[in-house]
């Protein structure tokens, strides 16, 4: 029978109550009813047990020296992880602190050993996997906060040991009291229950800890618990296989390793000292002689001790510069539904120096070397995408058995393989996997890469800051990073972002040419306005206004982006390629000898030159020396100005404005530069314009009735619609004319572009009967046109098997047009110089557009089967 304790009843009551409450919350298996006498199995106090056992003299000394004897003898409810003297003897033979005997341990080291092995609560080992998170989460925990005080030791760091970035320069020639983190360190447990629940396999465990395990084994970090759950009256004692030296956090570990220096230096660029007022005051209270300030090392990150951290006031960085989490945050807690500090930790895949060198010198990273020569020269702006790929917010989702399904924040696979892992370190806030591979982001290999890498180029002719901003603002990055696609991406560099003729102003009295520039103070793109003379094609030299409105600039940039991306190669031997925005580009040459023209470039008789060509994994990126400009002329505009198109144009514009058959419209949702084709629908089209003679022929043959009577030599050859008296006859003639005209509008832009083709396209005229036709078109489908060509001509075959050829004799072919849709009629906006009346110029928007290529054809197109009746006088 064990002797009754001599402690006061009150203290005993507190202890028992504490143990009872804790066991309730952790669903303890300790079956301990409240009672006045201590049960026999309860044992001695933790301290008594250690003393009595006789083989914990090192630990007993730690307890006594650090003044914990009272606590561990009498009060409190603790869980302690201790090592025997023989384990300490092994520790003295080989440890990272270089300590060979107890006496060489510093006070701080002693505190670390004792406090790190102590949890301020009583837990059975299996109960360590439970935690309370609004409800009891059984088997879900793998971490607990330790009893190590943040200010147990506050290192004084020399300025020359600080990261070599501007944020630390002030301290370069000074010393600084610097905490690596100011949150509590955590102890990490691997228990059977948690491993099972998290589906972490024994193989995962072995790769992470280097130890094999048996069922029910429990480990603290990589140290096995030899004897567990020794029940003492003031808590539980667990005996470890070796001395538990408090591990560093991930950031400390990475920065301390001499084979991770390259990655570490990149990571350190995102760190900064942050004044720590609370710990400064606390430390001053504990050490009245201390009058200095304490700082904590912080990383720019989305998640950290106090949420997002973007730097000290006045020196903040943008959201794109934030790491996913602060790698030095001891009490790291994943920000995810159902996640808590206890349930998971972070992980990092850190390429060692050899891997970094290999990637830079001989791998896909050669593009970086080519551009920046060495790792340290890479601008900060380019690095977050690389670092983010290597930082994982969940250890559980990054164990080896899940390597195969890991993706980054952009949902791009992370191709880590077991054989890439050279070493593993279990830090207090996560696991660091040292790898022999670098996992570059898609941003480094896609067509976007040259823009990203050149965003901060010193040369304005190579700098791509404006385009990079436009891509970010309009969410094009992931589109351009799509590796299943193939792109040709044209990039005007900053120097050449000028002479943009704004389409809205083009339709106004005062026409503006914009020069875009990047404002480094506001990190935004602005536009300076110059006058543009349509007649002379001259851009004025005086800046007339500056546009700072982000939405306006974003809108025009979006339009430009859409016309600078071709979803395919542009070196396939054709002369014309369609962009994502349906705008056709005329392309000559290849690589750095390439010349490009959009419709407006043709109009202004200028060529855009490629200055540099990049061969990327998903296509080509071309830096160019002028802006590619889409056509500023609509179908209406072209047809109205060319005399050879007159016959066809007159038919098109004859419809009364209120008629549902009208083809050209200028009304809500169709507001363009002048008139838009009503049935165009954000697509690309071809318009076949019969010669004036052919139009006459169609009239004379009775295919159509013109608007005005055809009178020759005083004779009325054909009575025009406007002269018809019978309403039914008139309506029928109008409908017939509309259908005739629409048969000359075809879906898909087809150019005479040097490549043979043979294909069927749809017109804009609906088949309304079941008569068999040459192309077998079904009822209620658009009549079709067969288009064939050898590369320098086009022959059209109609539904009634009529052959019609593109007539190149007057050079009236491959004419590029664009029907733009604005948010309102251009005349309702004030001019760029604020003259005129109406809404501000900067409130104008380009909504969408359709493009068309116009060809003159030598005869009219007809879908009608059977013989055409010939009208007689």
Q: Residue numbers of the site for other proteins (CB under 8 A)?
A: 199, 404-405, 407, 409-411, 413, 474-476, 478-479, 482, 484-485, 567, 580, 668-669, 679, 681-683, 747-748, 762, 766, 770, 778-782, 821, 847-848
Q: How far is the CB of 404 from other proteins (least distance, A)?
A: 7
Q: How far is the CB of 601 from other proteins (least distance, A)?
A: 25
Measured in whole angstroms, how far is the alpha carbon of residue 585 from the centre of its chain? 28
Burial class (CB in 10 A: 0-12, 13-18, 19+), 821: middle
Nearer to other proteins, 107 or 472 (CB): 472
Nearer to other proteins, 318 or 591 (CB): 318
Nearer to other proteins, 89 or 758 (CB): 758
Report yes or no: 295 and 177 within 8 Å, Cβ to Cβ: yes
Q: Taking the CA of residue 204 as centre, how many other CA atoms within 13 Å lie in the half-sphere pointing to its CB?
A: 17
The H-assigned helical ranges of 271-334 are 277-286
Q: How far is the CB of 393 from other proteins (least distance, A)?
A: 11
Q: How far is the CB of 459 from other proteins (least distance, A)?
A: 29
The H-assigned helical ranges of 311-378 are 353-362, 366-372
Nearer to other proteins, 168 or 745 (CB): 745
Q: How far is the CB of 420 from other proteins (least distance, A)?
A: 18
Rounded CA separation 529/511 (Å): 10
- With a CB cutoff of 8 Å and minimum separation 6, the contacts of 153 are 107, 108, 111, 112
Q: How far is the CB of 157 from other proteins (least distance, A)?
A: 38
- With a CB cutoff of 8 Å and minimum separation 6, the contacts of 193 are 126, 129, 138, 139
Helix axes 692-700, 646-653, angle to 10 degrees: 60
Report yes or no: 398 and 378 within 8 Å, Cβ to Cβ: no
- With a CB cutoff of 8 Å and minimum separation 6, the contacts of 624 are 490, 491, 492, 493, 496, 596, 608, 609, 610, 611
Nearer to other proteins, 221 or 822 (CB): 822
Nearer to other proteins, 364 or 409 (CB): 409
Strand partners of residue 839: 829
Nearer to other proteins, 393 or 637 (CB): 393
Nearer to other proteins, 397 or 422 (CB): 397
Q: How far is the CB of 826 from other proteins (least distance, A)?
A: 16
Q: How far is the CB of 782 from other proteins (least distance, A)?
A: 5
Report yes or no: 562 and 583 within 8 Å, Cβ to Cβ: yes
Nearer to other proteins, 170 or 679 (CB): 679
User: Which helix (H) or strand (E) element contains residue 11?
Assistant: helix 9-25
- With a CB cutoff of 8 Å and minimum separation 6, the contacts of 144 are 119, 121, 123, 128, 131, 186, 187, 189, 342
Nearer to other proteins, 405 or 872 (CB): 405
Report the chain's C-alpha Rg in angstroms. Answer: 39
- With a CB cutoff of 8 Å and minimum separation 6, the contacts of 675 are 634, 636, 664, 665, 666
With the C-alpha atoms ordered 101, 102, 107, 110, is the resulting torsion angle positive or negative? positive
Q: How far is the CB of 345 from other proteins (least distance, A)?
A: 19
Rounded CA separation 407/660 (Å): 54
Distances (CA, A) of 759 to 273, 797, 851: 67, 10, 20
Residue 54, Cβ neighbours under 10 Å: how many?
10
Phi and psi dihedrals of 175, rounded to 5? -115, 155
Q: How far is the CB of 378 from other proteins (least distance, A)?
A: 25
Q: How far is the CB of 413 from other proteins (least distance, A)?
A: 8
Q: What tokens does 569 get?
A: 């190669």
Q: What tokens does 756 get?
A: 């043979």
Nearer to other proteins, 204 or 268 (CB): 204
Question: Using the 8-state DSSP alphabet, how is residue 322 labeled?
Answer: -
Length of the chain: 873
Rounded CA separation 852/749 (Å): 6
Nearer to other proteins, 93 or 405 (CB): 405
Annotate 81-141 with DSSP letters as a single string. EEE-HHHHHHHHHS-TT---SGGG--HHHHHHHHHHTEESS---GGGGG-EESSSEETT--
Nearer to other proteins, 178 or 480 (CB): 480
Q: How far is the CB of 549 from other proteins (least distance, A)?
A: 14
Nearer to other proteins, 36 or 475 (CB): 475
Q: How far is the CB of 233 from other proteins (least distance, A)?
A: 40
Among candidates 392, 529, 384, which has minimal Cα distance to 455?
Answer: 384
Q: How far is the CB of 115 from other proteins (least distance, A)?
A: 37
Nearer to other proteins, 272 or 449 (CB): 449
Phi-psi region for residue 591, left (φ > 0), alpha (ψ -120 to 50) or beta? left
Q: How far is the CB of 391 from other proteins (least distance, A)?
A: 15
Nearer to other proteins, 538 or 657 (CB): 657
Nearer to other proteins, 166 or 768 (CB): 768
Nearer to other proteins, 97 or 670 (CB): 670
Question: Hey, what's the torsion of the CAs at 47, 48, 50, 52, to 10 degrees?
Answer: 160
Among candidates 342, 69, 85, which has minimal Cα distance to 239?
Answer: 85
Q: How far is the CB of 583 from other proteins (least distance, A)?
A: 15
Rounded CA separation 250/171 (Å): 24
Q: How far is the CB of 135 from other proteins (least distance, A)?
A: 13
Three-state DSSP at 555 gives: helix
Q: How far is the CB of 675 from other proteins (least distance, A)?
A: 16
Report yes or no: 154 and 164 within 8 Å, Cβ to Cβ: no
Phi and psi dihedrals of 146, rounded to 5? -90, 180
């Amino acid at each position: 029978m064990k002797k009754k304790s001599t402690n006061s009843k009150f203290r005993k009551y507190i202890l028992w109550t504490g143990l009872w409450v804790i066991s309730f919350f952790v669903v303890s298996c300790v079956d301990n009813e409240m009672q006045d006498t201590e049960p026999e199995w309860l044992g001695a106090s933790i301290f008594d047990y250690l003393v009595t056992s006789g083989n914990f003299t090192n630990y007993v000394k730690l307890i006594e020296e650090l003044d914990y004897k009272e606590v561990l003898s009498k009060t409190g409810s603790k869980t302690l992880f201790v090592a025997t003297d023989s384990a300490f003897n092994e520790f003295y033979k080989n440890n990272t602190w270089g300590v060979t005997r107890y006496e060489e341990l510093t006070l701080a080291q002693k505190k670390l050993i004792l406090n790190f092995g102590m949890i301020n609560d009583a837990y059975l080992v299996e109960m360590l996997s439970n935690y309370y998170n609004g409800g009891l989460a059984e088997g879900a925990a793998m971490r607990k906060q330790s009893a190590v005080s943040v200010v147990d030791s506050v290192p004084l760091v020399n300025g020359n040991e600080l990261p070599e970035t501007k944020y630390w320069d002030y301290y370069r020639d000074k010393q600084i009291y610097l905490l690596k983190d100011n949150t509590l360190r955590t102890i990490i447990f691997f228990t059977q229950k948690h491993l099972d629940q998290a589906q972490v396999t024994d193989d995962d465990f072995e790769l992470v800890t280097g130890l094999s395990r048996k069922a029910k084994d429990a480990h603290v970090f990589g140290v096995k618990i030899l004897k567990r759950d020794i029940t003492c009256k003031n808590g539980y004692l667990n005996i470890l296989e070796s001395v538990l030296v408090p591990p560093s956090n991930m950031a400390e570990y990475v920065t301390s390793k001499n084979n991770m220096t390259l990655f570490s230096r990149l990571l350190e660029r995102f760190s900064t000292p942050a004044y720590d007022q609370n710990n400064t005051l606390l430390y001053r209270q504990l050490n009245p002689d201390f009058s200095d300030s304490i700082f904590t090392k912080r990383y720019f990150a989305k998640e950290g001790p106090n949420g997002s951290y973007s730097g000290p006031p006045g020196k903040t960085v943008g959201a794109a510069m934030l790491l996913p989490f602060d790698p030095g945050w001891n009490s790291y807690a994943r920000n995810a539904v159902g996640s808590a500090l206890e349930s998971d930790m972070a992980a990092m895949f850190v390429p060692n120096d050899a891997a970094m060198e290999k990637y830079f010198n001989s791998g896909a990273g050669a593009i970086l070397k080519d551009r920046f020569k060495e790792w340290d020269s890479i601008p900060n702006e380019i690095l977050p995408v690389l670092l983010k790929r290597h930082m994982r917010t969940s250890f559980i989702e990054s164990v080896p058995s899940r390597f195969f399904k890991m993706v980054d924040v952009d949902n791009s696979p992370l191709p880590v393989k077991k054989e890439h892992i050279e070493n593993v370190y279990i830090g207090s806030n996560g696991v660091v996997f040292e790898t022999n591979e670098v996992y570059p982001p898609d941003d480094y290999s896609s067509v976007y890469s040259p823009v990203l890498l050149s965003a901060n180029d010193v040369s304005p002719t190579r700098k791509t800051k404006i385009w990079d901003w436009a891509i970010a603002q309009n969410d094009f990055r992931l589109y351009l990073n799509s590796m299943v696609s193939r792109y040709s991406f044209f990039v005007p560099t900053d120097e050449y972002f000028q002479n943009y003729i704004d389409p809205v102003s083009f339709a106004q009295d005062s026409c503006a040419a914009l020069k875009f520039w990047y404002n480094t103070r506001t990190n935004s793109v602005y536009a300076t306005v110059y006058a543009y003379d349509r007649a002379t094609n001259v851009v004025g030299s005086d800046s007339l206004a500056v546009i700072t409105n982000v939405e306006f600039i974003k809108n025009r940039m979006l339009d430009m982006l859409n016309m600078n991306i071709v979803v395919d190669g542009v070196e396939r031997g054709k002369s014309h390629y369609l962009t994502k925005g349906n705008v056709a580009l005329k392309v000559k040459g290849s690589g750095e000898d390439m010349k490009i023209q959009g419709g407006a470039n043709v109009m202004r008789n200028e060529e855009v030159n490629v200055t540099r060509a990049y061969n990327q994994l998903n296509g080509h990126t071309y830096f160019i020396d002028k802006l590619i400009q889409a056509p500023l002329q609509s179908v209406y505009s072209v047809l109205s100005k060319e005399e050879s198109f007159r016959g066809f144009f007159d038919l098109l514009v004859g419809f009364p404005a209120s008629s549902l058959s009208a083809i050209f419209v200028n009304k809500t949702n169709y507001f363009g530069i002048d008139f838009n084709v009503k049935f165009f629908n954000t697509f690309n089209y071809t318009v076949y314009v019969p010669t004036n003679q052919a139009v006459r022929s169609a009239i004379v043959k009775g295919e159509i009735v013109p608007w005005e009577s055809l009178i020759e030599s005083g004779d009325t050859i054909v009575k025009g619609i406007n002269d018809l008296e019978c309403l039914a006859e008139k309506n029928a003639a109008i409908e017939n004319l509309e259908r005739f005209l629409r048969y000359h509008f075809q879906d898909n832009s087809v150019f005479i572009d040097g490549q043979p083709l043979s294909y069927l396209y749809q017109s804009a005229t609906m088949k309304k009967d079941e008569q068999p036709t040459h192309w077998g078109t079904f009822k209620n489908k658009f009549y079709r046109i067969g288009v064939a060509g050898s590369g320098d001509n086009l022959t059209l075959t109609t539904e009634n098997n009529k052959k019609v050829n593109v007539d190149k004799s007057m050079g009236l072919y491959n004419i590029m047009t664009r029907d733009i849709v604005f948010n309102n009629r251009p005349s309702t906006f004030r001019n760029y110089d604020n003259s005129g009346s109406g809404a501000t110029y900067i409130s104008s928007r380009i909504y969408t557009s359709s493009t068309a290529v116009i060809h003159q054809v030598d005869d009219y197109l007809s879908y009608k089967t059977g013989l055409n009746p010939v009208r007689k006088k």
